[in-house]
Structure 1
Amino acid sequence: MMLKTTLFGKVYQFLDIKEVLAKANEEKSGDNLAMIGASTTEERVAAKIVLSELTIADLRNNPVVDYDKDEVTRVIQDGVDEEIYKKVKSMTIGEFREFLLENTGEEIKAISDGLTSEVIAAVTKLMSNMDLICASRKIINTATCNTTIGTLGTLASRLQPNHPTDNLQGIMASVMEGISYGVGDAVIGLNPAIDSIEGVSNILKAFKDFMNRFKLPTQNCVLAHITTQMEALKNGAPMDLMFQSLAGSEISNRAFGIDVKLLDEGYHLMKTLKSSKGDNFMYFETGQGSELSSAGHNGADQLTMEARCYGLAKRYKPFLVNTVVGFIGPEYLYDGAQVIRAGLEDHFMGKLTGLSMGVDVCYTNHMKADQNDLENLALLLAQANCNYFMGVPGGDDVMLMYQSTSYHDIATLREITNKRPIKEFEMRLNELGIMKDGVLTSTAGNPSLFLNMGV
Structure 2
Amino acid sequence: MGYSHQVGSKTYQFRDLKDLMAKATPARSGDYLAGVAAGSAEERVAAQMALADLPLRVFLSEALIPYERDEVTRLIVDTHDAAAFARVAHLTVGDFRNWLLSDAADGAALTALAPGVTPEMAAAVSKIMRVQDLVLVARKCEVFARFRNTIGLSGRMSTRLQPNHPTDDASGIAASVLDGLLYGSGDAVIGINPATDNVPQVINLVSMLDEIIARYAIPTQSCVLTHVTNTIAAIERGAPVDLVFQSIAGTEAANAGFGVTLSLLDEARQAALSLGRGTVGSNVMYFETGQGSALSANAHHGVDQQTCEARAYAVARRFQPLLVNSVVGFIGPEYLYDGKQILRAGLEDHFCAKLLGLPMGCDVCYTNHAEADQDDMDVLLTMLGAAGCTFVMGVPGSDDIMLNYQSTSFHDALYVRRALGLKPAPEFEAWLQTMGIVTGDARFTLADALPAAFNKVLLHG
Q: TM-score, normalised by structure 2?
A: 0.96
Cα distance between partner residues in 2 of 1:105 and 1:450: 46
Cα distance between partner residues in 2 of 1:122 and 1:446: 53
Deviations 1:124-181 (A, max 9, x none): 1010000000101111100011111011111110000001111112111111111111
2:361 is the alignment partner of 1:355: no
Q: Where do 5+ consecutive residues of structure 2 fail to align?
A: none
Q: CA deviation at 1:71?
A: 0.3
User: What amino acid sits opposite 2:372 in the alignment?
Assistant: A
Correspondent of 1:411 among 414, 417, 420: 414
Cα distance between partner residues in 1 of 2:451 and 2:176: 11
Cα distance between partner residues in 2 of 1:315 and 1:164: 34
Q: CA distance change for structure 1 residues 356 and 453 in 2, over 3 Å: closer, same or farther?
A: farther
Query: Contact 1:239–1:274 at 8 Å: present in 2 too?
Result: no
Q: CA distance change for structure 1 residues 91 and 445 in 2, over 3 Å: closer, same or farther?
A: farther
Aligned to 1:130: 132
User: What amino acid sits opposite 2:392 in the alignment?
Assistant: F
Query: Contact 2:52–2:93 at 8 Å: present in 1 too?
Result: yes
Correspondent of 1:192 among 191, 194, 213: 194
SS at match of 2:288: strand
2:256 is the alignment partner of 1:250: no
Cα distance between partner residues in 1 of 2:456 and 2:5: 65
SS at match of 1:96: helix
Q: Please say which of residues 38-47 and 53-62 is displaced more in the overlay.
A: 53-62
Aligned to 2:292: 289
Deviations 1:401-432 (A, max 9, x none): 00000011111111001111111111111122
Cα distance between partner residues in 1 of 2:2 and 2:294: 29
Q: TM-score, normalised by structure 1?
A: 0.97
Aligned to 2:33: 33
Deviations 1:239-289 (A, max 9, x none): 111100001001010000001111111111112125223221100000000
2:454 is the alignment partner of 1:451: no
Correspondent of 1:367 among 365, 370, 374: 370
Q: CA distance change for structure 1 residues 78 and 443 in 2, over 3 Å: closer, same or farther?
A: farther
Query: Contact 1:60–1:119 at 8 Å: present in 2 too?
Result: no
Cα distance between partner residues in 2 of 1:274 and 1:251: 32
Cα distance between partner residues in 2 of 1:354 and 1:450: 43
Correspondent of 1:314 among 313, 317, 322: 317
Q: Please say which of residues 195-204 and 340-349 is displaced more in the overlay.
A: 195-204
In the TM superposition, 1:381-392 aligns within 5 A as: 381-392=384-395
Q: Where do 5+ consecutive residues of structure 1 fail to align?
A: none
Q: CA deviation at 1:444?
A: 6.1
Cα distance between partner residues in 2 of 1:174 and 1:94: 47
SS at match of 2:332: coil
Cα distance between partner residues in 1 of 2:28 and 2:399: 25
2:428 is the alignment partner of 1:425: yes
SS at match of 1:376: helix
Q: CA distance change for structure 1 residues 361 and 446 in 2, over 3 Å: closer, same or farther?
A: farther
In the TM superposition, 1:153-168 aligns within 5 A as: 153-168=155-170
Aligned to 1:232: 234
Cα distance between partner residues in 1 of 2:332 and 2:322: 27
Q: CA distance change for structure 1 residues 413 and 453 in 2, over 3 Å: closer, same or farther?
A: farther
User: What amino acid sits opposite 2:397 in the alignment?
Assistant: G
Cα distance between partner residues in 2 of 1:170 and 1:413: 26
User: What amino acid sits opposite 1:348 in the alignment?
Assistant: F
Q: CA deviation at 1:339?
A: 0.2
User: What amino acid sits opposite 2:430 in the alignment?
Assistant: M
User: What amino acid sits opposite 1:61 in the alignment?
Assistant: S
Q: CA deviation at 1:452?
A: 4.4
Cα distance between partner residues in 2 of 1:159 and 1:447: 19
Identity of aligned residues (%): 47
